[in-house]
């Protein structure tokens, strides 16, 4: 995902011992639409940054997207898995965030979403938007922070539509489905990582990151998260249909992982991948077809730590891609690509199933909330 928008005029803001997005903060009480995308939130529930949100009118379109900073990552195969989290750490951070947000004190029903992979900071309304380094927290007051202010309403709306609305998130309401939602999101992101890992072998730009395909760790990671989702299902069995759908999907993934462990064609294909040979071939293409100067010859000296990948930076990737068939040259060097592609497609299909389940969980929560509203005879914006 990459979004690029041209903005004619922006205002730069640099601060220390001040609020980097003060102008936006002042506009929030009268705004009709508010988007806050942040890595962290204030440490104390009585922060004025949270208080201003609690006092918003019930018709204000508020969406708050945050990560859960400080989560302890799981170690798999002796290495830290940056997209999987310790069970107790996850529960502690959920409890902490709920205490700070104090959702029930809001005068309206806020839309608060969790996104583990969010590190962006955007704070804005329909009229003004801040994009920069500062989180929507009090701690940023003490730091050097920098950002830009955008006032073009059309650009702001485009940013919301093309970037913010594309985030894969789950809602965070302080109810009994919170943990299940977050664990299902964790499963989605692990499958997303699997797809990226298994498609990366065909992209020379990806290999520059020196990421190795370790399918053993991949399977162990997904299996670990499946167990976590199963644990999260236990206290919410009252959602019968939803729990059955999730259990069926988990069973399908576990069965597939078992069969994958026995798929010798897949493992043989991974073993046949030869990155060094592929780099040698690609280096020949740079020298012979593109005529780039000062390229070291193919061979061990090119693969050495000092010179590896240097010629690959000599031209923008888009220009190189237009001149030569990058994928074609990788395929010449790598054997067994069809078997790897098949596994990639299978993981991608499971990812789609989990995404559908996230949507189902959202609808389940919404239906339950509406039913509660009807039974109590209150307006749908009042939190129970």
Instruction: Read off the pLDDT of residues 15-47 as tens digits, 9 standing for 90 and up.
Output: 999 999 999 999 999 999 999 999 999 888 888
**pLDDT level of residue 146 (50, 70, 90 thresholds):** very high
State the pLDDT at residue 198: 75
DSSP codes, 273-332: --HHHHHHHHHHHIIIII--SSPPPSSHHHHSTTTTTGGGGSS-HHHHHHHS-HHHHHHH
Distances (CA, A) of 272 to 53, 170, 268, 276, 332: 56, 39, 6, 12, 12
Instruction: Read off the pLDDT of residues 247-269 as tens digits, 9 standing for 90 and up.
Output: 999 999 999 999 988 888 888 77
Instruction: Read off the pLDDT of residues 180-203 as tens digits, 9 standing for 90 and up.
Output: 888 888 888 888 888 877 765 545
**pLDDT level of residue 218 (50, 70, 90 thresholds):** confident
The per-type count for the chain, helices as H runs and strands as E runs, is 14, 10
Q: Is the pLDDT assigned to residue 131 strictly greater than 70?
A: yes
Kind and range of the H or E run holding 131:
strand 129-132
State the pLDDT at residue 1: 67
C-alpha to C-alpha distance for 149 and 132, rounded to whole angstroms: 9
State the pLDDT at residue 368: 53
**pLDDT level of residue 140 (50, 70, 90 thresholds):** confident
**pLDDT level of residue 374 (50, 70, 90 thresholds):** very low
State the pLDDT at residue 224: 85
Find residue 171's DSSP bridge partners: 113
Is the full-model pTM beyond 0.85? no
State the pLDDT at residue 358: 81
State the pLDDT at residue 33: 96
Which of 93 and 346 is assigned the larger pLDDT?
346
């Amino acid at each position: 995902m990459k979004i690029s928008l041209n903005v004619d005029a922006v205002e730069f803001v640099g601060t220390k011992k001040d609020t980097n997005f003060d102008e936006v903060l002042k506009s929030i009480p009268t705004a009709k639409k508010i988007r806050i995308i942040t890595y962290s939130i204030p440490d104390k529930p009585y922060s004025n940054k949270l208080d201003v949100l609690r006092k918003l009118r019930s018709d204000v379109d508020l969406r708050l997207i945050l990560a859960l900073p400080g989560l302890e990552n799981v170690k798999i195969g002796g290495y830290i898995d940056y997209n999987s989290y310790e069970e107790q750490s996850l529960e502690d951070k959920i409890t902490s965030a709920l205490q700070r947000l104090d959702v029930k004190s809001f005068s309206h029903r806020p839309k608060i979403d969790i996104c583990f992979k969010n590190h962006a900071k955007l704070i804005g309304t329909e009229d003004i938007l801040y994009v920069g380094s500062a989180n929507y927290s009090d701690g940023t007051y003490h730091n050097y922070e920098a950002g830009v202010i955008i006032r073009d309403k059309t650009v702001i709306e485009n940013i919301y539509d093309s970037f913010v609305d594309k985030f894969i998130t789950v809602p965070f309401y302080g109810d009994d489905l919170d943990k299940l939602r977050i664990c299902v999101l964790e499963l989605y992101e692990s499958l997303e990582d699997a797809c990226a890992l298994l498609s990366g072998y065909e992209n020379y730009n990806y290999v520059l990151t020196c990421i190795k395909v370790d399918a053993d760790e991949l399977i162990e990671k997904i299996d670990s998260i499946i167990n976590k989702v199963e644990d999260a299902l236990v206290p919410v069995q009252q959602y019968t249909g939803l729990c059955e759908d999730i259990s069926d999907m988990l069973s399908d993934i576990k069965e597939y992982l078992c069969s994958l462990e026995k798929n010798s064609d897949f493992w043989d294909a991974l073993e046949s991948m030869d990155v060094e040979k592929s780099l040698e071939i690609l280096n020949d293409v740079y020298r012979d077809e593109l005529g780039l100067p000062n390229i070291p010859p193919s061979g061990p000296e090119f693969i050495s730590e000092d010179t590896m990948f240097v010629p690959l930076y000599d031209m923008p990737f888009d220009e190189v891609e237009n001149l030569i068939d990058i994928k074609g040259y990788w395929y010449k060097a790598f054997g067994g690509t069809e078997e790897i592609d098949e596994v990639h497609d299978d993981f991608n299909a499971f990812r789609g199933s989990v995404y559908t389940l996230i949507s189902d969980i959202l609808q389940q929560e919404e239906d339950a909330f509406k039913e509660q509203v009807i039974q109590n005879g209150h307006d749908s914006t009042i939190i129970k």
